Amino acid sequence: MASPELSTRYAAPLRTAPVLELCDLSKRFGDVLALDRVSLQVSAAELLAVVGPSGCGKSTMLRAVAGLLAADSGEIWAGGRQVAGPRTFVPPERRNVGVVFQDLALFPHLDVASNVVFGLRRRDRGRQQRVREVLDLVGLDGLGQRFPHELSGGEQQRVALARALAPDPSVVLLDEPFSHLDRNLRTLVREHTVQVLHAAGATGVFVTHDQEEALAAGDRVAVMHAGRLEQVDVPEQVFHNPTSRFVATFLGEADFVRGERVGDRAHTAFGTLPVTTPGVGPCQVMLRPHEVAMEPADSGSGVVVRTEFRGALVLHHVRFADGSTLRGVRPHSSPLAVGTRVRVRPLVDHPLAVFAA
């Protein structure tokens, strides 16, 4: 178990004791700080999505947890024991951490069953039973004799998952596990993977650069930027209540509206809006396009300058007299022409994120 000192220092909302814990983890590659004092806790049976732009350090973090890379400083605790620390480095083969690699890394010379059995001990009597169990769990029963190259992309993905789960690892790490699949298949496979992980009761960390994927699949989402964890919280919170402008814009389209904060409200050109953090003075209120409605009005303050067809919705860029712009959506059945003068109205059913001006 983590030392009492560690568990009191990080008061995150945990359901149970952490199964994986990173503490002040840092790693430098030349001039680049890939990990900058990253601290994180993942509780049992939780699936944490780590999201960030490419090069933000998320894969480095995963490799450090797996033991494929040694961090410069900091500690890693997995399954109740320290696997990396100032004087500790447990090699990957003794960490009991499962990994689903980005390219899956199935052993091409072994059939499905042999791939899955690879991580099980030779002396383990029940290992054939375990292989059947895991293949059954991922829905591949009966395909044990196939070779990886005889399987579809989705099936290969399941083999990789089954192989990682078979030794019953304390944590399963998934490194951009769906990026090699085409878009349609990706959603299906992702949903299936999440189901399997939950069914297996596995604790998981999966890394992605796709914010929709992170929001949809993660029990919690950790947003990473330039080696730092910007925010770790449930999907609703990181989306609606981002703690930084980076998180706000990375997780979805966001515009910022100037305002004057008075207590838990802010006065803006679009009316008085509720904000999450009370305060006093000038501020910027975040509005996402789905929260911005507009009607054509000759007396309106904005003009539609550009439209983007998004399928069900049409995104409208509206420019105001002071040069600021705001994006809003309308149903595809009633788009507005470029040049239409509009009145903009925020549709707010919750307090909005607010940032210092």
Partner 1 sequence: MSETGRRGWRLVVVAVAAFVVVPVGLVAVSILTPSTEVWSFLWGTDLPDMLVTTVVLLVAVVGCTLLLGAGLAWLVGRYRFPGQRWFSWLLVLPLAVPAYVLGFVYLGLLDYPGPVQSGLRTLFGDNVWFPEVRTLPMAVLVLSLALYPYVYLLARAALTEQTAATYEAARVLGQGPLQAARRVVLPMARPSLAAGAALVAMETLTDFATVQYFNVQTVSVAVYQVWNGMYDRVAASEIASLVLLFAIAVIGLERVARGRARFHQNGGARTVDPVHLSGAKAWAATGICSLVVAVTFVVPVLQLLAWSSTATVLSSTGGLDPRYLSYLLNSLTIATLTALACATIAVLVASATRLGGGTSTRRLARLATVGYAVPGPVVAIGVLAMLAAADAALDLVGLSWGAVLVTGTLVGLLYAYIVRFLALAYTSVDASLEKVAPSITDAALTLGAAPRGVVRRVHVPLVRSGVGVALVLVAVDALKELPVVLLLRPFGFETLAIWVYQLASESRWELAGLPALTIVAVAVVPVIWLFRQTLQLASQLPPETVREGPDEHLVRGGERGQS
Q: Which is nearer to partner 1, 114 or 244 (CB)?
A: 114
Q: Is 118 among the residues that bind partner 1 (CB under 8 A)? A: yes
CA angle 66, 72, 78 (to 5 degrees): 35
Write the CB contacts of 67 (distance below 8 Å, at least 6 apart in sequence).
Answer: 83, 84, 89, 90, 91, 92, 95, 97
- Stretch near partner 1 under the rule CB under 8 A, chosen from 31-39, 91-99, 220-228, 247-255: 91-99
Q: Is 89 among the residues that bind partner 1 (CB under 8 A)? A: yes
Number of residues that bind partner 1 (CB under 8 A): 31
Given 56, 69, 232, 273, the residue binding partner 1 (CB under 8 A)? 69
Q: Of 13, 19, 99, 9, whose CA–CA distance to 61 is shortest?
A: 99
CB atoms within 10 A of CB 323: 6
- Stretch near partner 1 under the rule CB under 8 A, chosen from 31-39, 60-68, 146-154, 240-248: 60-68
Kindly tell me the sign of the dihedral angle through the C-alpha atoms of 240, 312, 192, 212.
negative
Say if CB 303 and CB 319 are below 8 A apart: yes
Q: Is 50 among the residues that bind partner 1 (CB under 8 A)? A: no
Given 103, 136, 253, 295, the residue binding partner 1 (CB under 8 A)? 103
Query: Smallest distance, Å, CB 109 to partner 1?
Result: 5
Residue 256 parent element (H or E): strand 255-268
Q: Which is nearer to partner 1, 109 or 183 (CB)?
A: 109
Given 19, 99, 304, 352, the residue binding partner 1 (CB under 8 A)? 99
Q: Is 107 among the residues that bind partner 1 (CB under 8 A)? A: yes
Q: Is 205 among the residues that bind partner 1 (CB under 8 A)? A: no
Q: Is 108 among the residues that bind partner 1 (CB under 8 A)? A: yes
Say if CB 30 and CB 7 are below 8 A apart: no
Q: Which residues between 119 and 148 bind partner 1 (CB under 8 A)?
A: 119, 121
Given 92, 139, 274, 346, the residue binding partner 1 (CB under 8 A)? 92
Say if CB 332 and CB 313 are below 8 A apart: yes
Residue 20 parent element (H or E): strand 18-29
Kindly tell me the sign of the dihedral angle through the C-alpha atoms of 298, 294, 324, 346.
positive
Given 109, 123, 125, 149, the residue binding partner 1 (CB under 8 A)? 109
Q: Which is nearer to partner 1, 89 or 309 (CB)?
A: 89
Q: Of 263, 244, 254, 296, whose CA–CA distance to 273 is shortest?
A: 263
Q: Which is nearer to partner 1, 68 or 234 (CB)?
A: 68
Q: Which residues between 209 and 238 bind partner 1 (CB under 8 A)?
A: none
Q: Which residues between 161 and 200 bind partner 1 (CB under 8 A)?
A: 163-164, 167
Beta bridge partners of 342: 296, 302
Say if CB 264 and CB 316 are below 8 A apart: no
CA atoms of 85 and 88, how far apart (whole Å)? 5
- Stretch near partner 1 under the rule CB under 8 A, chosen from 93-101, 140-148, 266-274, 305-313: 93-101
Q: Which is nearer to partner 1, 121 or 183 (CB)?
A: 121
- Stretch near partner 1 under the rule CB under 8 A, chosen from 116-124, 135-143, 225-233, 296-304: 116-124
Q: Which residues between 262 and 321 bind partner 1 (CB under 8 A)?
A: none
Determine whether 227 is exposed, middle or buried from the number of CB atoms within 10 Å of its CB (0-12, 13-18, 19+).
Answer: buried
Query: Smallest distance, Å, CB 98 to partner 1?
Result: 7
Which residues would be at the binding site for partner 1 (CB under 8 A)? 63, 66-70, 89, 91-99, 101-109, 118-119, 121, 163-164, 167
